[in-house]
């Protein structure tokens, strides 16, 4: 969560930054709820399946590594 807030702070300013921070907080809450439900349903099939949910983060990590670019630093001095 801290890393996501840092990225949002680096990429956006003002009202857009506040909007994305709110969106990120909502996604964290909703994601926590959804993954608990998915984990419970998948545990009915096999107790190991809920642990496979973490593999989805690897796919997202690859997409983020490809899509993100390093923003230019502020040169205000």
Range of the domain at 26: 2-67
* Domain annotation covers residue 58: yes
So what's the pLDDT on residue 40?
A: 93
* Domain annotation covers residue 74: no
Look at the chain and report how many structural domains it folds into. Answer: 1
* Domain annotation covers residue 72: no
Nearest to 39 by CA among 53, 29, 58: 53
So what's the pLDDT on residue 75?
A: 64
Tell me the pLDDT tens digit for each residue of 9-67: 888 999 999 999 999 999 999 988 998 999 999 999 999 998 888 888 888 889 988 98
* Domain annotation covers residue 77: no
| Helices marked H in the chain | 2-11, 14-43, 55-67
- Of residues 39 and 71, more confidence is placed in 39
């Amino acid at each position: 969560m801290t890393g996501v807030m840092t990225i949002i702070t680096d990429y956006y300013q003002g009202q857009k930054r506040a909007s994305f921070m709110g969106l990120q907080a909502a996604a964290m809450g909703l994601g926590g709820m959804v993954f608990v439900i998915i984990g419970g349903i998948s545990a009915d099939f096999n107790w190991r399946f809920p642990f496979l949910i973490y593999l989805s983060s690897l796919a997202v990590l690859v997409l983020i590594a490809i899509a993100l670019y390093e923003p230019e630093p502020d040169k205000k001095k």
